[in-house]
Every structure is written in structure tokens, then in C-alpha cells.
Chain A
């Protein structure tokens, strides 16, 4: 999958990252080349979300190191990391409009420069939300809310986009549209995308690599196509079920 590598986005490396509070001990070793679209899959409670939280800075490891290229980011606070994370829900402030939510990505005091304001409108346009800038999250559909979150991630221009089951509450049609949007945006920006999903379809459409997380460690890693071959072993086949397993 070399063709997706982006020289401007440094590799993301987790080296012997250990975490244990309130759960089974976890230990991650992972290297993600710049520009990769990496799917993270595995059973519930296996540590997928913890993996993203460790990269985003919402959890701190008990030991080990996280690098973005040559820079160690292990102990940085969330906002100082080269990361944007999109959650399953509650990505938006309910009392602020779509464009205000986007502006917060670049102006945490809500005093944007004219350029920032223009940029906010532009990213909303790019994510298909033109004309809906002044709506409150409650006046948007679930898919539109996630688009606002993606727009905010775009305006922040961080090289890593993390998504924790971002389409879990969307129907199949909307899901497909979102995957299309993300593929298109990735073609334009070539950033690294890490996304957690339970759906083989998501991996098929969006990912070029995948990791399978099980019992707090990465049990398998390989090109996305491999997931549907019989090389992955019984554990993954059982997880996927008969329809996708071979």
C-alpha cells in the first residue's frame, strides 16, 4: 500500500505503550506509515478505544513512548498533539451552531480572524453542509452532525485523524456517503486516518491496512484485503462471522 504514503505526514509509532487503570493490562506496539488509512477492529472491550485515547492524549500510558515522526508526544496534553479525534457522538457543543463549532477548532476563544471565518465556511461547504452553517446540532441529522465534526477536524489541519466508531449511529446509506466523503478528503489531504469499526464493509471501502485488537494487544496487522482471506486465523474469522469469514 505504498502509494498512500505521504512524506509530509510523519509515521505514528507506539512503542511498548502500557496502560492498565481500571481494565485488563494493555500493551501496544504499532507503526503507522504517514498517509495510511488504518482500520482498528476487534471485540468489544479489547482496547480499541483505549488505543485511540492514548494517541489523542485522553489517557496517559503507564509506560512506553508514542512518537509522531521524531517528536515524542507521550506526555503532551490533547490540544498540543498533532491529532484530531472524532467520537461516536457528542462531537459538537449543543448550544453552538455548526459554524461556531467549526470555528472552535482554530479559535478556542471564539474570536476568529476574517480568514478563519472564511475557512470555516469553506470546510463546511467541502463536507456538504453549505447553507446549514447557522443550524444548531439538534437541527441537523446524525450524519450532518458527524460532517460538522469532520469539517472541524479539517480546519485544524492536524496530520492524524482518529475516529471512534464515527458511523455507529448511521444507517447503511448515510454510512456509505460518509465513507465516500472521507475517501475523497483523504485523496486531497493525504493525512493519516485511524478509525475504529466493527463493520467489515467500512474496512473494505475506506481502509488500506487494518489491525485486529484482542485482549489489550494487537493480535494481527496487515493490508485491508487480507482481512477477507483465510490467512488471518480462527480468532478473526470467528469475530467476523460466516458471511465475511472465508
Chain B
């Protein structure tokens, strides 16, 4: 008996506050997602035949298009990326190399709506390319709405990402292999076949899976560049069914198919493993000892050159078309100021929530896996799963559930701020956790025993130990989450209204009312702010790692 009591005392004391924080974070995320599912389920049960009828040809076409665009986007992003990465890696030091790699990091820092507008400003019917000499008759250019536009934007986002990930893969090749290839006088083709391709092949499933995942859940790009019912993905169809048709039965059918697709993708991706990707700007490539042949070199220059133009041009177009806006008038509009203030407030709140939840997950996972108690160690996966649940249940799906649950327009706009803040926080969590976990785990492994011995606990521990050690990485995560949230056009597209609008929502509504110059001007400002914040986040992170 005495022994039993002792064990209970032991377990009670050792269930520390970090596990409790993790349980709270899990509960919060579960409530957010659970509420959405409750909304969907209640509505589906109320109208079973309607939900059943919604599985029609339209849904089939939308699902097929979703898969098709994601598959093609992946292919078109990855295939050139292999050869661009190879060409960049062949020259470990050339002037502008690090600038090029930094340029390739920019797309990920830009909000999707800004990129969509940039692509339109460049390739659209009134786009900058119509001014090129080849376009004698601009009216013959049919523009890029539809599959073409979606693919261009997705490749713009994901090709540079794939290049960077594949360069990381190449950097894992041992230096001795390059020395050996030079010593044995291997040709470029042999080097590719025997050294480069095996490194790529190991990384490709993960990279392709990640890109596919990003494309199948892409919302703002498809919403703006899809341009009609023929080019609609599940995500956008969910939005339309709720926002325009108010047809919850269809929304439920669409969300269930979307969840099935994302679940399948995530399960597939977890089997292959996600690629390691961090925010470093320079990718160290081993020294190369053999020079590529003339043909190889020329091809490389052409490839890298066109990739650079492809990535840089939409950004340039965003800037050029942005400057056509009448900023003086825009700055005089209360709506612009209100949207800016709302955006900043939502983004800041969302970043606070995101950082707090992420810390909860990270520290609980650490605590559970280090508890020394097998039963508790086995629960560590819950904190991982909680953090990445948002991958399976995309923001629009969560939004759709709560939208149906809210029912009336009044309640929808009441719920809007809460939901936008919560969903954006959860959306940024996988990134924040990736920034926080290494720093947290290092600090915990160094300090846990010391703190336990010296009785540094609770607020003292936070004030004296964790905050000084972690503040930079917390700032990195916070700024990153804030930038991501600031540029997001997801849940707000569903919940926004004249009374609650953020900058991305304002841009969307200006586009809807054909005030393209306004939209371009605001997009330039939004893009610049998000880019600067992402750069700041990366810069704080780099200072931290020194």
C-alpha cells in the first residue's frame, strides 16, 4: 500500500506544467477543428438527401480539376528545378549567386494574393508582356485566366522552393565524391547519373509531396486566377457554395472530398518524409573540381537565366503596376486605414496566439518524451499531430464549418475576428514550431536538470532562463506568423464584410469592382510589408544562430 501511494505522489509531481500547456494547446486546436466538424455534421444530418445529391458531376469535375492542377503544378515546378539546381550547384561561387538564392526565397515570403496580382499584371490581357515587340495585336492575347494562370502562379511559388530544397539535397553529397569524379575524369552526364541524380532521387518524393500539398490546398491563387467555373478547385468551390449560393449541402460534400484528398496526401507525405528546409539564405555547396563542358555550361546559363527572369518578372510587374495607383487618394480613404488597422490587429493577435500554442506543443512534446515514463512518452505524438492537424484540415474547411454553424450574417461577422485570428494562428504553427523546437530542445536539455536542482521553476524559470535564451527565436516565430497572417486571404474571404475587412480582403473587393489600379497599389504595399517582415524574421533567426 505504502509503495502504491508513493508511486501516485511521484506521478503527480512529475506531470509538470509543460504537459498541461501542451494539453491546453491541443484542446484549443481540437475545439477549433471540432467546432467546424460539428457545424458540418449537424448541417449534413439535417439535410441528408441534399448532402447526398451534392455528390454530382460538378463535384467530380471540381475534384478532378483540383488534382489535375496540383499534379501539373508539381510537375512543372519540379522538372525545371532539377536542372536549375544542378546548374547552380556546378558553380559554387559566381558573382550574384547568393543574391540569386535570396531572390528564390522571396516568393515564399509573398502573400498569394499579391503574387496573383503580379502574375495578372504581367501576363494578363492588359499585362506588361503585351507591350513586348512580339505582340503586334494585344487584343489577340486571351490572357491567362484559367489553368494557365494557376500553373504560372504555382510554379512561381514552388519552382524556387524546389530549387532550394534540391540544392540542400546536393549539399549532402560528400566532398570526396566530387574529388573522385574529377580524378576519374567523369563526363557531365556520368556525374549526373552517378552522383547528382541519386542525391536528387532521395529528395524528390519529399519535395514533390510538399509542392503537391501546397498546390492542392491553394486558395487565393485559384480564386483570383481561375476566372470561372471551368477552373475551380475544391477549396474555391467550397467558398463559392457558401458565399454566393449559400448551399451548405454542397459545401459539406466538397469539404469531405477535400479532407479525403488532403488526408491521403498527408499520409503519403508522412511515409516519404518532408524535406528539411530552413531559412538559411546561403546554401554551402562543396567545392567542385571539374569544370562543366561548353554545351553543359551554356545550357546552365540559359536555364538559370530564364528561371531568374521567370521569378523576377512578376515581382517587377507588381512594383510597376503598383506605382500606377493613386496613393494620395488611397491614403485619404478611411476604408484603407480601417483595413490596415484591422489587418495589423488581427495579425498581431494571431502571432501571439500562434507563438503561445507552438510553445505549448513544443515544450509538452519535450516533456512527454523525456518523462522517463513509457505511458507518457507514447503520448508525445499527440503534440506533433495537434500541431500539424491544419495540414489535413485546410483553413477554408475550418472556416466553412464555422460559417455553417454561425448561420446568420450577424453572427458571421461577430465570429469573423475570432475565427480569422485563430485559423491564421493555427496555419502558421507548423512554421513557428520548426523555428522554436530546436532552440527549445537545446535549451531544455542544457537547463532542465540545473533548474530542477536549483529549484528555478515557474515564473522564475521563464524570467531568468527561458526568456533570455529563447527571446530571439520567439521573435523569429512571432514576426513570421504575423507576416503570414497579414497577407492571408483565406478565412477572411468567407467571413469578411464591409464591417470587417483586412487588407487582402479589401484588395479582393477592389478587384471585384474593377478598381484594378487600387488593388495593384494596395498589393504592392502589402507585398512590401510582408516581405520586409519575413526578411526581419529570417535576420533575427540568423543572428540567433550565430
Contact of B10 with A56 in the complex, beta carbons under 8 Å? no
Closest to A87 in B: B449
Q: Is B454 an interface residue (CB 8 A)?
A: yes
* Also in contact, A77 and B452, with CB within 8 A (given A60-B10, A95-B468): yes
Residues in chain A near residue B373, CB distance under 8 A: 21
Q: Write the B7-48 contact mask toward A (1 if CB under 8 angstroms, else 0).
A: 001100110000000000000000000000000000000000
What is the size, in residues, of chain A's interface with B at 8 Å between Cβ atoms?
29
Pick from A58, A59, A74, A77: contact of B13, CB below 8 A: A77
Q: Is B465 an interface residue (CB 8 A)?
A: yes
Contact of B449 with A58 in the complex, beta carbons under 8 Å? yes
8 A Cβ contacts from B129-157 to A: none
Contact of B10 with A75 in the complex, beta carbons under 8 Å? yes
Contact of A110 with B464 in the complex, beta carbons under 8 Å? yes
B residues at A contact (CB < 8 Å): 3, 6, 9-10, 13-14, 372-374, 446-447, 449-450, 452-457, 460, 464-465, 468-469
Q: Report Cα–Cα, A10/B40, bound state, in Å.
A: 67
Q: For the complex formed, measure the closest distance between the CB of A120 and the CB atoms of chain B, giving whole angstroms.
A: 13
Residues in chain B near residue A90, CB distance under 8 A: 446-447, 450
Q: Report Cα–Cα, A144/B457, bound state, in Å.
A: 27
* Also in contact, A21 and B468, with CB within 8 A (given A60-B10, A91-B450): no
Closest to A53 in B: B449
* Also in contact, A58 and B456, with CB within 8 A (given A21-B372, A110-B464): no
Interface of A is mostly: loop
Q: For the complex formed, measure the closest distance between the CB of B432 and the CB atoms of chain A, giving whole angstroms.
A: 22
Q: For the complex formed, measure the closest distance between the CB of B26 and the CB atoms of chain A, giving whole angstroms.
A: 25
Closest to B372 in A: A21
Contact of A79 with B374 in the complex, beta carbons under 8 Å? no
Residues in chain A near residue B450, CB distance under 8 A: 90-91, 93
Q: Report Cα–Cα, A96/B456, bound state, in Å.
A: 14
Closest to B465 in A: A93
Residues in chain A near residue B454, CB distance under 8 A: 79, 104-105, 108
Closest to B455 in A: A79
Residues in chain A near residue B452, CB distance under 8 A: 57-58, 77-79
Closest to B452 in A: A78
Interface of B is mostly: helix
Q: Report Cα–Cα, A121/B374, bound state, in Å.
A: 44
Q: Is A115 an interface residue (CB 8 A)?
A: no
Q: Report Cα–Cα, A185/B446, bound state, in Å.
A: 27
Q: Is A192 an interface residue (CB 8 A)?
A: no
Closest to A84 in B: B453
Closest to A91 in B: B450
List 9 contacting pairs A-B, 8 Å CB cutoff, sorted by A: A58-B449, A75-B9, A77-B452, A90-B447, A91-B450, A94-B446, A108-B455, A108-B457, A110-B460
Residues in chain B near residue A104, CB distance under 8 A: 454, 456, 464
8 A Cβ contacts from A83-103 to B: 83-85, 87, 90-91, 93-96
Q: Report Cα–Cα, A147/B161, bound state, in Å.
A: 49
Contact of A78 with B9 in the complex, beta carbons under 8 Å? no
Determine which residue in A59, A105, A108 has the highest number of CB atoms from chain B within 10 A of its CB, and name it.
A108
Q: Is A109 an interface residue (CB 8 A)?
A: yes
Q: Write the A66-82 contact mask toward B (1 if CB under 8 angstroms, else 0).
A: 00000000110111100
Closest to A74 in B: B6
Residues in chain B near residue A78, CB distance under 8 A: 449, 452-453
Contact of A60 with B469 in the complex, beta carbons under 8 Å? no
Q: Report Cα–Cα, A93/B372, bound state, in Å.
A: 24
Contact of A75 with B453 in the complex, beta carbons under 8 Å? no
Q: For the complex formed, measure the closest distance between the CB of A154 and the CB atoms of chain B, giving whole angstroms.
A: 14
Closest to B445 in A: A90
Closest to A21 in B: B372
Q: Report Cα–Cα, A85/B451, bound state, in Å.
A: 12
Q: Report Cα–Cα, A96/B3, bound state, in Å.
A: 41
* Also in contact, A95 and B453, with CB within 8 A (given A77-B13, A90-B446, A110-B464): no
- Extra A-B contacts (10), CB below 8 Å, given A59-B372, A108-B454: A56-B449, A56-B453, A58-B452, A74-B6, A78-B452, A79-B454, A85-B449, A90-B446, A93-B469, A110-B464
Q: For the complex formed, measure the closest distance between the CB of B181 and the CB atoms of chain A, giving whole angstroms.
A: 39
